[in-house]
């Protein structure tokens, strides 16, 4: 059996997916043309090549500017599901939506969230991919703005919006998750789930992961790779069962790492941490959750049994309610058993 025959259809969650990055390259170029947004180039080889995370984030922020209308947002939401359900076995996804990119352009919280939810709900009904939304605090902005954002989330309850996170980098190009402690405390007091991008790059630190875990009390960590440099923190994370939403391919660009059996994600798995795979920014890094399983997983020296564990760990780390988790587990188990039976039948 070719690994591909198993890794392509195996049912998958994707917990770490920035909404804007589900826009296809073709739509990005089309909308940029429509709205007169200057792109550095329309050659995909150059458009999607970055020196590092900070360089990528410049392009990512520019891309948010091409999403102007409800129709743009709903279409991107719907189309972003279609490719992955057919090509990648996607069954459930959590989207990071960062309203602070859109507010300065006159797109308020509900004007942003409502069409995204409409598009994703239509995709769920048509394609069977359930979803939740995590509102991302923009670390470019001050902590007071983060607190205001959480107040806005709480004042506008929307069923699919189940948590908050933090992404981008501070103006000093650091992570500094503790800067937003007040916003996290408020979110937690009101029962929102919490996550944070932490320990992503060589210049970031295990301390960043520790602050997210011990001071923000997050339910899961996005990336978290620097944790393996702190064995005590790694043991604490293993014992607490906290989940890590990792993104193998993006580390080749944002962190400068090669995907091989010495990679930090492999070391996290070997240390017994709960780890799932996501694309992070599919279009920009020319990946997908399917590619993470089909290509990154074998390069990490992992096999079919690991793929099953990683697929199911994605349900453990999800922010949906227990009933949804139970039905996802039943669906994944049945699909994996059917896949195993097909393979056994030769
Ligand atoms: N925004 C989109 N992708 C990101 C990443 N990998 N790290 C921080 N912020 C991001
Ligand atoms: Zn991310």
Question: DSSP readout, 52-116?
Answer: SHHHHHHHHHHHHTT--SHHHHHHHHHHHHHHHHHHH-EEEEEEEE-HHHHGGGT--HHHHHHHH
Q: Which residues of 16-40 are buried (b: 16+ CB within 10 A; e: fewer)?
A: bbbbbbbbeeebbbebbeeeebebe
167 lines ligand 1 (CB under 6 A): yes
Rounded mean pLDDT of 221-249?
A: 98
Rounded mean pLDDT of 313-328?
A: 98
CATH of the domain at 181: 3.20.20.140
| Statement: residue 295 has pLDDT above 80 | yes
- In this structure, the chain runs to a length of 346
pLDDT for residue 83: 81
pLDDT band at 346 (very low <50, low <70, confident <90, very high): confident
Place of tokens 């199911």: 312
78 lines ligand 1 (CB under 6 A): no
Angle at 233 between CA 227 and CA 239, to 5 degrees: 115
175 lines ligand 1 (CB under 6 A): no
Residue nearest to atom 1 of ligand 1 (CA): 168
254 lines ligand 1 (CB under 6 A): yes
Atom of ligand 1 nearest to the CA of 139: 9
Atom of ligand 1 nearest to the CA of 167: 9
| Statement: residue 314 has pLDDT above 80 | yes
Rounded mean pLDDT of 92-98?
A: 98
Atom of ligand 1 nearest to the CA of 200: 7
Rank 37-46, 109-118, 337-346 by mean pLDDT and report only the highest. 109-118
- Ligand closest to 14 (CA) is 2
**What is the number of domains present in the chain?**
1
Atom of ligand 1 nearest to the CA of 223: 6
* Closest CA relative to residue 229, chosen from 177, 194, 268: 268
| Statement: residue 30 has pLDDT above 70 | yes
Looking at every residue in the chain, the average pLDDT score rounds to: 96
* Closest CA relative to residue 142, chosen from 161, 168, 123, 106: 168
- The residue to mutate among 14, 175, 254, having the most atoms of ligand 1 within 8 angstroms of its beta carbon, is 254
Name the strand (E) or helix (H) holding 183.
Answer: helix 181-189
pLDDT for residue 274: 98
* Closest CA relative to residue 307, chosen from 22, 81, 82, 1: 1
- Ligand closest to 200 (CA) is 1
State which residues form the domain around 68. 3-345
* Closest CA relative to residue 317, chosen from 202, 227, 194: 194
Rounded mean pLDDT of 12-35?
A: 96
- The residue to mutate among 18, 97, 140, having the most atoms of ligand 1 within 8 angstroms of its beta carbon, is 18
Q: Quick one: CA torsion of 37, 56, 243, 158, rounded to 10 degrees?
A: -10
| Statement: residue 2 has pLDDT above 80 | no
Atom of ligand 1 nearest to the CA of 254: 6
Give the torsion sign (CA, 250, 253, 255, 259): positive
295 lines ligand 1 (CB under 6 A): no
280 lines ligand 1 (CB under 6 A): yes
Let me know: does 136 contact 96? Beta carbons within 8 Å.
yes
């Amino acid at each position: 059996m070719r690994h591909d025959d198993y890794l392509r259809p195996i049912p998958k969650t994707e917990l770490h997916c920035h909404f804007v990055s589900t826009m296809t390259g073709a739509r990005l170029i089309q909308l940029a043309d429509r709205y007169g947004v200057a792109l550095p180039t329309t050659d995909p080889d150059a458009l999607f090549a970055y020196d590092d995370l900070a360089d990528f984030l410049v392009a990512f922020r520019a891309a948010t500017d091409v999403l102007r209308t409800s129709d743009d947002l709903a279409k991107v939401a719907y189309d972003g599901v279609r490719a992955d359900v057919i090509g990648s076995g996607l069954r459930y996804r959590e989207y990071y939506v960062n309203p602070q990119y859109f507010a300065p352009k006159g797109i308020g919280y509900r004007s942003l969230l409502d069409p995204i939810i409409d598009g994703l709900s239509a995709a769920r009904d048509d394609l069977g991919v359930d979803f939740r939304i995590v509102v991302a605090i923009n670390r470019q902005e001050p902590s007071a703005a983060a607190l205001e954002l959480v107040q806005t989330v709480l004042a506008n309850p929307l069923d699919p919006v189940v948590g908050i996170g933090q992404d981008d980098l501070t103006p000093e190009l650091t992570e500094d998750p503790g800067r937003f402690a007040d916003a996290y405390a408020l979110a937690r007091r009101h029962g929102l789930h919490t996550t944070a991008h932490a320990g992503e790059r060589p210049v970031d630190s295990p301390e960043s992961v520790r602050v997210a875990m011990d001071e923000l009390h997050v339910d899961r960590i996005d990336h978290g790779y620097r944790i393996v440099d702190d064995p005590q923190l790694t043991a604490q994370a293993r014992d607490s069962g906290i989940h890590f939403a990792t993104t193998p391919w993006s580390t080749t660009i944002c962190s400068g790492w090669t995907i091989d059996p010495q990679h930090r994600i492999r070391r996290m798995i070997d240390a017994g941490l709960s780890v799932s795979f996501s694309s992070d920014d599919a279009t920009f890094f020319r990946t997908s959750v399917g590619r993470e399983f089909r290509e990154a997983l074998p390069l990490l020296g992992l096999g079919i049994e690991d793929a099953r564990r990683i697929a199911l760990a994605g349900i453990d780390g999800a922010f949906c309610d227990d009933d949804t988790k139970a039905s996802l587990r039943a669906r994944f188990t049945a699909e994996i058993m059917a896949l195993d039976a097909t393979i056994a039948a030769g």
